[in-house]
A and B are shown apart, each in its own frame.
Chain A
């Protein structure tokens, strides 16, 4: 069973600060997805990374997949109150596990005005 360790679990920062969320595993993933979930809603897909070393940017959000495809990070620049929410990473090991995502425990981000 693959495990994804996500850290930190909680993050409370002021508007304008930068932050990084980490997802780490001892297993190799064929792809890794980042989601954001707000209370009462389902997770919304932010990005999918597939290639080792890949970096993707989505406005102020930068996602990186580790060279060995065992870890990933999400960096937010100049956080805004609208970034508040639960951030989830989810990995897939491919093959017969196609579509079966293993989720990290999540990071609850609160950005104070």
Chain B
């Protein structure tokens, strides 16, 4: 299984600011995803991070709010822009190899917006 790290592990941010979350994997992976887990809720897919091209967003999520980069096969960033208290969540990076059914998650970034 891949070892996934995320930075920061947690942050408290003010309304209207932006935060960039980093996801680093210890090996090259085909697919990377970003999920959100709101307080007391389950996980929801935000987008698929595509290497060298624009991310693919799920319904309800837009690039202007959650810009994503994936410059190579081991690294991705998610930015939460113009934050509001409703963005307070745990943001999780997830990885998977093509031809594998196993999908792994990072430790998450706990974001609180005040």
Contacts and interface: CB of A to CB of B under 8 A. Distances in A.
Interface of A: 31, 33, 35, 40-45, 48, 50, 88, 90, 92, 98-101, 103-106
Question: Which of the listed residues A40, A41, A48, A100 has the most CB atoms from chain B within 10 Å of its own CB?
Answer: A100
Main secondary structure of the interface of A (DSSP, over half): loop
Interface string B90-114: 0010101010011111111010000
B53 interface: no
Contacts of B96: 99
A99 B33 contact: yes
B44 interface: yes
Given A40-B110, A42-B92, A101 B42 contact: no
B77 to A, nearest CB: 17
B31 interface: yes
B42 A45 contact: no
Contacts, number: 55
B107 A41 contact: yes
13 contacts: A33-B102, A33-B103, A42-B106, A42-B107, A88-B42, A99-B33, A99-B94, A99-B96, A100-B45, A101-B103, A103-B42, A104-B42, A105-B42
A58 B108 CA distance: 25
B interface residue count range (under 10 / 10 to 19 / 20 to 34 / 35 or more): 20 to 34
Q: Secondary structure of the B side of the interface?
A: strand
Given A35-B105, A48-B101, 4 more contacts: A45-B105, A48-B102, A92-B101, A98-B31
A41 to B, nearest CB: 6
B48 interface: yes
B48 A99 contact: yes
A105 B110 CA distance: 19
A101 B105 CA distance: 12
B43 interface: yes
A31 B44 contact: no
Contacts of B106: 42
Which of A35, A44, A103 has the largest count of B CB atoms less than 10 A from its CB? A103
